[in-house]
């Protein structure tokens, strides 16, 4: 429900943005603010864009910080995380920002970044397909890893077990382990609100893209925005749905981290991690463009 509400509000707010820019013939956020409220409006627009970009970029860079060490750990075939500098997320996020994000963000034309954005979208499609595939591959309850089940799954073994998709499936004593819950309210629920708020962060790019369109029109830009929001909405919804239906109550806040409970060295999940890192790294320069 919350994701749907945010998507609808995003689409409607873009409609209002395009309508206001069309009325006064201005396609710059600060100038729109200045035209409406004078200097305070211009400052408010600049501050709002800056804060919005900081929030969005922080979310993306946090993914880089949390996932890059796991990718390196898997490549090196390490059972435990070491204290080496190349396993430190703080150093890695700085390295990625300086060597990849900064050069892309310095590009003067948005059109060049469109290729990077398109590739990042392809990476997220791969992520979605992999999550759906894993839903039908991983049995529930979680599978027993040969020789490595103790301390990982944290479930109690009973006398009976099933064999499914090449895994020995433990029969957990909880009756509702694999039963979906249609509504969950706990201490973590509040954290979903800011995450959803940044689910559709296309607003700062609307007017720059509108300006660079061939034969720009409000109808064309609104159509582009609606299609983009709809595609991302479906991807968010399906990824969340199948991710939850794979692990149910055992799903973690970081979905990809949950797959470590099954196989920390899964090649497909490793590829998914790399794809997600590529996607978020190539998306940050788009967010930075209007600044």
- Give me the pLDDT at residue 238, please: 92
- Give me the pLDDT at residue 114, please: 66
Residue 203 neighbours by CB under 8 Å, 6+ apart? 10, 13, 14, 17, 52
Scanning 38-140, the segments in alpha helix (DSSP H) are: 39-75, 89-96, 102-105, 110-137
Say whether both 153 and 100 belong to one domain: no
How sure is the predictor about 144, in pLDDT bands with cuts at 50, 70 and 90? Answer: low
- Say whether 162 sits in a helix, a strand or coil: strand
Say whether both 135 and 152 belong to one domain: no
Say whether both 145 and 283 belong to one domain: no
* Domain end position, chosen among 177, 198, 224: 177
Say whether both 65 and 95 belong to one domain: yes
Say whether both 53 and 89 belong to one domain: yes
Say whether both 171 and 182 belong to one domain: no
For tokens 């707010």, the residue is 13
Q: Is the pLDDT higher at 175 or at 209?
A: 209
Q: Write out pLDDT tens, residues 85-143.
A: 888 888 998 998 888 888 877 766 656 666 767 788 888 899 999 999 999 988 877 76
SS (H, E, C) 226-260: HHHHHHHHHHHHHHHHHHHHHHHHHCCCCHHHHHH
- Give me the pLDDT at residue 130, please: 93
CA atoms of 7 and 233, how far apart (whole Å):
7
- Give me the pLDDT at residue 126, please: 92
- Say whether 170 sits in a helix, a strand or coil: strand
Structure tokens at 249: 């109550």
Region 242-253 average pLDDT: 85
Are the C-beta atoms of residues 160 and 171 closer than 8 Å to each other? yes
Say whether both 167 and 250 belong to one domain: no
Percent of the chain with pLDDT over 70: 82
- When divided into structural domains, the chain yields a total of 2
- Say whether 26 sits in a helix, a strand or coil: coil
Burial group, residue 261, by CB count within 10 angstroms (0-12, 13-18, 19+):
middle
Region 42-71 average pLDDT: 84
Q: Is the per-residue pLDDT at 220 higher than 80?
A: yes
Are the C-beta atoms of residues 94 and 206 closer than 8 Å to each other? no
Say whether both 12 and 98 belong to one domain: yes
* Domain end position, chosen among 152, 177, 202: 177
Say whether both 168 and 284 belong to one domain: no
Region 226-252 average pLDDT: 88
Looking at residue 221, the DSSP 8-state letter turns out to be H
Say whether both 12 and 74 belong to one domain: yes
- Give me the pLDDT at residue 168, please: 43
Region 230-253 average pLDDT: 88
* Domain end position, chosen among 155, 177, 199: 177
Q: Which domain holds residue 219?
A: 2-140+178-288
Say whether both 155 and 33 belong to one domain: no
Say whether both 266 and 149 belong to one domain: no
CA atoms of 17 and 19, how far apart (whole Å):
5
Q: Is the per-residue pLDDT at 247 higher than 80?
A: yes
Region 142-161 average pLDDT: 43
Q: How many CB atoms lie within 10 A of CB 207?
A: 20
């Amino acid at each position: 429900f919350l994701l749907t509400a945010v998507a609808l509000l995003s689409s409607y707010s873009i409609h209002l943005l395009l309508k206001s820019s069309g009325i006064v013939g201005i396609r710059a956020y600060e100038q729109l603010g200045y035209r409406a409220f004078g200097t305070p409006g211009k400052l408010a627009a600049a501050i709002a864009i800056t804060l919005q970009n900081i929030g969005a970029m922080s979310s993306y860079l946090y993914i880089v910080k949390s996932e890059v060490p796991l990718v390196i750990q898997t490549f090196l075939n390490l059972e435990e995380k070491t204290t080496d500098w190349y396993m430190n997320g703080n150093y890695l996020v700085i390295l990625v920002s300086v060597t990849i994000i900064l050069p892309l963000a310095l590009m003067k034309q948005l059109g060049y970044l469109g290729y990077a954005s398109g590739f990042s979208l392809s990476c997220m499609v791969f992520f979605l397909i992999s999550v759906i595939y894993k839903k039908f591959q991983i049995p529930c309850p979680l599978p027993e890893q040969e020789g490595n089940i103790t301390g990982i799954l944290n479930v109690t073994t009973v006398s009976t077990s099933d064999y499914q998709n090449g895994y020995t499936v433990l029969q957990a004593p909880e009756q509702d382990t694999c039963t979906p819950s249609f509504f969950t309210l706990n201490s973590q629920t509040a954290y979903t609100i800011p995450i959803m708020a940044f689910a559709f962060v296309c607003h700062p790019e609307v007017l720059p893209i509108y300006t660079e369109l061939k034969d720009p029109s409000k109808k064309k830009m609104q159509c582009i925005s609606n299609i983009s929001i709809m595609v991302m909405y479906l991807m968010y919804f399906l990824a969340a749905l199948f991710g939850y239906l794979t692990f149910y109550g055992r799903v973690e806040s970081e979905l990809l981290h949950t797959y470590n409970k099954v196989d920390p060295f899964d090649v497909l999940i490793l590829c998914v991690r790399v794809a997600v890192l590529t996607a978020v790294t190539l998306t940050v320069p788009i967010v930075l463009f209007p600044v």
